[in-house]
Amino acid sequence: MEFITKITNKSIALWNYLWNDVWSDTRNNWYIRLAKTLNLSVKSFLNANIQSQAAALTYHTILALVPALAILFAIGRGFGFHNILQTQLFNYIPAQKETLDTVVGFVDAYLAQSSQGIFVGIGIALLLWTMISLMSNIESAFNSIWGIKQGRSIWRKITDYTAMLLILPVLMICSSGLSLFMTSTLQNLFAFEFMSPIISILLKCASYAFTWLFFAAMFMLIPNTKVKFKNALIAGFFTGTGFLILQWIFVSGQMYVSKYNAIYGSFSFLPLLLIWLQFTWVIILSGIAICYSSQSIYRFNFSDKINFISDDYRTKITLAIMCVITKHFANGDKAITIEELTSKYDFPPRIAIDIIERLIEANLIVRVINDNSDIEMGYQPASDINKLSIAYTLNKVNRHGESDFIPNFDTQFININNSIDDIINRFNSEAQSTLLKDIDIKLNNN
């Protein structure tokens, strides 16, 4: 019993460490990073926010389903893969042939209307605009996981999304149709019976590889930030594998669903499609979380403590961040980025991003572009640094937002107002002379 108790206590301690305390462990060992990545993956899958985002993206995907298939089929026709795509679509959902025939009819009619008539360009423009709207919603979901507050400009959305709509479908076409397209050709070149299984295995692996590359390309191209290929590929591998497993479950389950068609008819296709899309987006959003964590796993450090941070400590961090930004500007250095703030000064990225956004809203700092890049954003003071004192900064931050909207508040609580005003005036007189640019900062030598 003593041995069982000891094992139980150690198991509970290990669970508590892996579920909560691992984010307070700042060691950079590979097994610590692996534990954090697995922790984040599980929490991301169970995260209510990801579930709600997946539901929203499912709704937007349904609205853009016909235009999306139209673009996929149009590109497939351009490469000669149209019949292969249609065959694969029927193979994925074998129990819903009549419904898929109707969907394919919608797609053909959509393409015909987009390529005929007086205003040919209008149909194509509407098709692209529908897809750009869907891509914009996907980018917003990805950016929220990355903690990015600012999305692409409208011009960059048009240019970047159009490029993505040309690249990503090609990878999807290759992943779905490569084995069918190449099997007969390669078997004619290698007319040996023992080569057929080998060719089949190689093509199947190539199809899996294109699926992984498809998701890796999504994770690299869609977020409005720089994503390293290594991290995107790792996330693409896990996401692609999860997607293939979900696809296998969905296809295998069609035989059990077919008997319900006699009751529900073609309507049974809709709830199945919604369930499949919901799980697909959950897997994709969990994948982008893995990509985010693998590239900057330290950003989630102390996440449990940040949820309960005191106002006093938040104020100190706000002044520290404002001081760093001011001194960089005063020294003639390039505008400091979020990555430099978090890596050089050990600020937890989650709280640093929140404070940066509040300083921008209070008109204390502004975003600037570094190194002629439209992605790497730095921050610098928004006003004369010779008046940026501790008192000035705190007054701007604390007074930002709505106030004086409760009726009769000033008369009912006049003593509180007078006391607060007196404290603020005495603080201002003492802290007004302390400029942020003159405050020394001791860097961590570790």
Give the residues across from 336 on adjacent strands: 379
Q: Which residues, at least 6 apart from 132, have a Cβ–Cβ distance to it below 8 Å?
A: 157, 158, 161, 162
Q: Are the CB atoms for 23 and 302 separated by under 8 Å?
A: yes
Percent of the chain past pLDDT 90, that is, above it, reads: 5
Residue 63 pLDDT: 80
Q: Are the CB atoms for 304 and 43 separated by under 8 Å?
A: no
Query: 419 is written with which tokens?
Result: 């006391």
With 80 as the cut, is the pLDDT of residue 45 above it?
Answer: no
With 80 as the cut, is the pLDDT of residue 305 above it?
Answer: no
Q: Please, what is the end-to-end C-alpha distance for the chain in angstroms? A: 46
Helices 269-295 and 48-63 meet at what angle, rounded to 10?
A: 130
CA distances from 236 to 20, 281, 406, 424 (A): 26, 14, 52, 53
Query: Between residues 41 and 192, which one has the greater pLDDT?
Result: 41
**Mean pLDDT across 68-78:** 69
pLDDT per residue as tens digits for the range 120-136: 556 566 667 777 788 88
Give the torsion sign (CA, 72, 78, 83, 84): negative
Q: Are the CB atoms for 208 and 176 separated by under 8 Å?
A: no
pLDDT band at 118 (very low <50, low <70, confident <90, very high): very low
Query: 351 is written with which tokens?
Result: 């709280």
Query: 278 is written with which tokens?
Result: 């919901």
Domain formed by 309-438, architecture: Orthogonal Bundle (1.10)
**Distance of alpha carbon 132 from alpha carbon 128, whole angstroms:** 6
Query: At 46, which amino acid appears?
Result: L
Q: Which of 65-74, 236-245, 407-416 has the lowest mean pLDDT?
A: 65-74
Q: Which of 76-80, 181-185, 234-238, 393-397 has the lowest mean pLDDT?
A: 181-185
With 60 as the cut, is the pLDDT of residue 53 above it?
Answer: yes
Q: Which residues, at least 6 apart from 180, have a Cβ–Cβ distance to it below 8 Å?
A: 84, 87, 88
Q: In this structure, what is the dihedral angle of CA atoms 114, 119, 120, 126, given to the nearest 10 degrees? A: -50
Domain ranges of the chain: 21-299, 309-438
Of the candidates 388, 270, 372, 373, the residue with the CA atom closest to the CA atom of residue 328? 388
